[in-house]
Amino acid sequence: MSHDEHWLLLCGGVGGAKLALGLAHELPPGSLTVLVNTGDDFRHLGLWISPDLDTVTYTLAGLVNPATGWGLAGDTFHCLEGLSRLSGPDWFRLGDRDLATHLERTRRLAAGERLGSITSDLASRLGVSARIWPMSDDPVATLLHTDSGLLEFQDYFVRRQAAPVVRAIEYHGASEAGPAPGLANLLKDPGLAGIIIAPSNPWLSIDPILALPGLRQSLADARAPVVAVSPLIAGQAVKGPSAKIMRELGLPPDAQGIARHYLCLLDGFILDDRDEAEAAGIGLLGLETVAAPTLMRSLDDRRSLARVALGLARRLGNSIGRPHRQTG
């Protein structure tokens, strides 16, 4: 492996962070950049909350609550309990020590610092060697058009537990938002060995990133191979509403539906070995397809899925050009 090899992971929160951790263990320190969705970010109790950035940061720092996959291990909720007693808005779970992150991020944003620089600094103070980049320094808000009206992301996802039926999704502000500084250069870097799309929710976690101006095209133009991991296993999301949203949007909730969703960006696709019967059909779409265990329960599971993704991207990178890449 070359020392100058770099890898880029596109990811959301809990599902994406699991693969990020596997990759961070499998790659030399400093060679992984994680580009994280910020479409879930919102202002709450006067604080700027970036749930996916914090989930990835806490996970890579070894501090995440293993029971939930988000928040800090061993955190307490005294502040939230106090808020409840006062009938304040207690529907969004914020731990006491976690609050320090939101206080500090909000303080630094108010002082004029960019989200990317704050995120990098907080991550390095927590001992993370991977680069964690918010997809943009500019605010983007995922909004859901549902049978209960137009909903802000956290209202839909946390307060209403993703129950409303989704009709359409919009990424408010995305068309004017600048992609993470450094991203354009990374995508052109000859040392970029591969781009991996995490098994995150395609509509809620990855599409906000892909909605940034020029990003789809820069990914399609990158020399490095692009591979995605399916977030569905046997037609079901491991967690959250991915499959439910697919059904509501009239799409078949299966691995092929995920592969088709990303098709014009991809060279390779990893689906769960329980869905191996779908591999041939996905291969016919022109994608190098690998079936592997994708359920990440343990650190070993995370590392072995990371090795599968790295191996597939390396194989594709060694083939001449990008014969499978669609254009569009």
Q: Give the footprint of ligand GDP on this chain (CB under 6 A).
A: 11-16, 18, 52, 198-201, 205, 229-231, 233, 237-240, 242, 294-296
Contacts of 193 (CB under 8 A, 6+ apart): 2, 5, 6, 7, 224, 313, 314, 317
Identity of the residue, 199 or 325, whose beta carbon is nearer to ligand GDP in the bound complex: 199
Output the smallest distance, CB 202 to ligand GDP, in A: 8
Identity of the residue, 71 or 199, whose beta carbon is nearer to ligand GDP in the bound complex: 199
Output the smallest distance, CB 206 to ligand GDP, in A: 8
Which residue is nearest to ligand GDP, using beta carbons? 15
Using an 8 Å Cβ cutoff, are 59 and 35 in contact? no
Identity of the residue, 99 or 309, whose beta carbon is nearer to ligand GDP in the bound complex: 309
Identity of the residue, 223 or 239, whose beta carbon is nearer to ligand GDP in the bound complex: 239
Output the smallest distance, CB 197 to ligand GDP, in A: 11
Output the smallest distance, CB 152 to ligand GDP, in A: 15
Give the other-Cβ count within 10 Å of 322's Cβ. Answer: 18
Structure tokens at 207: 């599409």
The residue ranges of DSSP E strands in the chain, in sequence order, are 6-11, 32-36, 42-44, 47-49, 131-134, 141-146, 149-152, 166-172, 192-197, 226-229, 232-233, 236-237, 268-272, 288-292
Give the DSSP letter of residue 308.
H
Distance of alpha carbon 66 from alpha carbon 61, whole angstroms? 12
Output the smallest distance, CB 82 to ligand GDP, in A: 26
Identity of the residue, 13 or 95, whose beta carbon is nearer to ligand GDP in the bound complex: 13
Give the DSSP letter of residue 160.
S
Identity of the residue, 18 or 325, whose beta carbon is nearer to ligand GDP in the bound complex: 18
Identity of the residue, 72 or 108, whose beta carbon is nearer to ligand GDP in the bound complex: 72
CA-nearest of 195, 188, 218, 13 to 21 is: 13
Distance of alpha carbon 38 from alpha carbon 49, whole angstroms? 10
Distance of alpha carbon 127 from alpha carbon 122, whole angstroms? 9
Structure tokens at 102: 């939101």
Axis crossing angle, helix 51-60 with helix 14-26, rounded to the nearest 10: 30
Output the smallest distance, CB 290 to ligand GDP, in A: 13
Identity of the residue, 177 or 228, whose beta carbon is nearer to ligand GDP in the bound complex: 228
Output the smallest distance, CB 107 to ligand GDP, in A: 25
Give the DSSP letter of residue 178.
P
Using an 8 Å Cβ cutoff, are 35 and 184 in contact? no
Output the smallest distance, CB 154 to ligand GDP, in A: 11
Using an 8 Å Cβ cutoff, are 6 and 189 in contact? yes
Identity of the residue, 83 or 158, whose beta carbon is nearer to ligand GDP in the bound complex: 158
Using an 8 Å Cβ cutoff, are 29 and 65 in contact? no
Output the smallest distance, CB 199 to ligand GDP, in A: 4
